[in-house]
Structure 1
Amino acid sequence: MAAVHPALAPYVRSVVAYDVAFAGPGVHIGMPSTGLTFVLPLDEPLTVAWDGDPASRTVGWTSVSGLHTTAAAVHHGDHQRGIQLSLTPAGARAVWGVPASALAGRLVGLADVAPVLADLPERLAGEASWEARLEVLQHALLDAVRRHEAPSLRPEVARAMALLTRGVPVAATAGDVGYSRRRLGTLVHDEVGVTPKTFQRLARFSRAHARLRRAALAGEVSVATVAAETGYADQAHLAREWTGFAGCSPTEWLRREFPIVQATGEHHGAA
């Protein structure tokens, strides 16, 4: 995880430089979230498609996707290196000059959304160290933000999205910001391309995914505990949502992504 420049903090949630060796070719599950994904592979083009939809497959030196409710199937060989960013909805306007809604449910290349940045993969490939690559990337992002002079989200829309992210019901969120549910739905959809309820579900799912991932990295996990900690009614509720968004159950996801971890139900269990 690389540090995010303060001027980019409203637009970039995370920057991760990755260098991963696999046991062999396979498919990584790209999980839905409330962020937009921006990937810059280094050694070979990235092959990605929406899970279950081979026609959506793209191959390229960049991958850009908006908010989505279907997992991405990211194909890999024995080794992958690159940089992956997660952008906020405001980051779509600031970095690419388009609203997040324009990219909802789409997989595209960087040249399709921001041609001025099309040479970024070549510039990164020309650097010999991670430090140098990250510096090139940071300068490119800062230049993009200055170039677009992206306006901030309307304060009431930004507040509504923050409330939805925290799990405040849609009706209560609409009342808090002084809108009808219909008006709030229009404004949120215009900004991110999904309804307020879907945005809220994505936020809750993203919390559960992050919590389960941390538990898996620690070598033990309880799906029931994660469900309770992240706002689901019970483990079955989490399992239904997880299957809908990820295309598999939490236990199957753990088996595929963390094969040495043993998932448990009502208690913590070590691998």
Structure 2
Amino acid sequence: MVGPLTVPLALRPYVAWLTGYDVVGPPGVHRGLPGTSLTFVLPLGAPLDVAWSGDPGSRRASWSSVAGLHAAPAEIRHDGHQEGFFLALTTAGARALLGLPAAAIAGQLLSLDDLAPGLRHLPEQLHAAPTWPERAGVLHRALATALSAHAGPGARAEVGRALASLSRGVPVAAVADEVGYSRRHLRNLVVAETGLSPKEYQRVARFESSRDRVLDAARRGGTLAEVAAVCGYADQAHLAREWRDLAGCAPTTWLREEFPDVQAGGVLPG
């Protein structure tokens, strides 16, 4: 397992995080969970076999995969060896690196061939680099070139502020007041930028926060009730319903599938 990699300073507003991965284990299906970032995967060794959960018609195998913001899980099938780069692109990163608003690809699974012809040779360039540091260098240079190619105006600054506030759980009406817009105008701007309504974006952001806290609770022996309270869910049952809708499984199932060693310590159900 390679782990998190440094994001160059110029790319940090656009790449929330970057990791290299090289994992060997039993064949299976990895869940791609909703979040406030676009998922950009560059596999090595074998194409990425990905589909939206419950939608076999969306299944595709590709050497690059970009998933727009979504409120449903994806399924990534693998033969036991997973290797490549995983990037989380901010909504600003969609404009800066791909040349389009995140809303343009919301709920879609696409490849670089579909989205960014200037980056279409990146997968083969990564395969030609023999070491992880060299591959990271190739990736950084390609993204810097893409950034230069799309150096146009970004979203309005107030939209970025609104998204940050929504992510923190600030009520939609308060966010509208904060940026000086009516709720309807704010909704139109957020949908145009992300493809999700303010309420949908906030729901995904809260789920994303709960995902991180569920893992932390499992590691330290916490409980799901604690996670529900900290994340602003009405109760543990509310948390469980949101996980079924957005992840397609219970938090404990996700832990067992993705982090079996951590689950051995156990996040307590109550």
Shorter-chain TM-score tier: over 0.9
Q: Which residue of 2 aligns with 1:13?
A: 16
Q: Which residue of 1 aligns with 2:241?
A: 240
Distance in 1 between residues matched to 2:105 and 2:215, nearest whole Å:
26
Q: Which residue of 1 aligns with 2:205?
A: 203
Q: Give the counterpart of 2:267 among 260, 263, 267.
A: 263
Distance in 1 between residues matched to 2:223 and 2:168, nearest whole Å:
22
Structure 2: tracts of 5 or more residues without a match: none
Cα deviation, 1:222-262, whole Å, max 9, x if unaligned, reads 21111122222211111111111001111221222223412
**1:147-166 pair list within 5 angstroms:** 147-166=149-168
Q: Which residue of 1 aligns with 2:223?
A: 222
Distance in 2 between residues matched to 1:249 and 1:51, nearest whole Å:
15
Change (3 A) 1:220 1:21: farther
- TM-score, L = length of structure 1: 0.94
Distance in 1 between residues matched to 2:56 and 2:73, nearest whole Å:
13
Distance in 2 between residues matched to 1:164 and 1:150, nearest whole Å:
25
Root mean square deviation, CA, Å: 1.2
For residue 215 of structure 1, report the CA deviation from its aligned partner: 3.5
| Conservation of the 8 A alpha-carbon contact between 2:214 and 2:267 | no
Q: Give the counterpart of 2:78 among 76, 88, 91.
A: 76
Q: Which residue of 1 aligns with 2:232?
A: 231
| Paired residue type of 1:20 | V
Distance in 2 between residues matched to 1:4 and 1:231, nearest whole Å:
31
For residue 220 of structure 1, report the CA deviation from its aligned partner: 3.5
**1:163-202 pair list within 5 angstroms:** 163-202=165-204
Q: Which residue of 2 aligns with 1:34?
A: 36
| Paired residue type of 2:223 | S
Q: Which residue of 1 aligns with 2:113?
A: 111
For residue 221 of structure 1, report the CA deviation from its aligned partner: 4.2
Cα deviation, 1:117-175, whole Å, max 9, x if unaligned, reads 00000000001111110011001111111111032321211111111011001111111
SS of the aligned residue for 1:48 comes to: strand
Q: Tell me which moved more, 105-114 or 250-259.
A: 250-259
Distance in 2 between residues matched to 1:117 and 1:2, nearest whole Å:
20
Q: Tell me which moved more, 182-191 or 151-160.
A: 151-160
- TM-score, L = length of structure 2: 0.95
For residue 20 of structure 1, report the CA deviation from its aligned partner: 0.5
Structure 1: tracts of 5 or more residues without a match: 267-271
Q: How many residues align?
A: 264
SS of the aligned residue for 1:227 comes to: helix
SS of the aligned residue for 1:137 comes to: helix
SS of the aligned residue for 1:43 comes to: coil
| Paired residue type of 1:79 | H
Q: Which residue of 1 aligns with 2:138?
A: 136
| Conservation of the 8 A alpha-carbon contact between 2:217 and 2:224 | no
**1:63-102 pair list within 5 angstroms:** 63-102=65-104
Moved over 2 A (4+): 150-153, 213-216, 218-221
Distance in 2 between residues matched to 1:150 and 1:26, nearest whole Å:
42
The percentage of aligned residue pairs carrying the same residue is: 53
| Conservation of the 8 A alpha-carbon contact between 2:217 and 2:267 | no
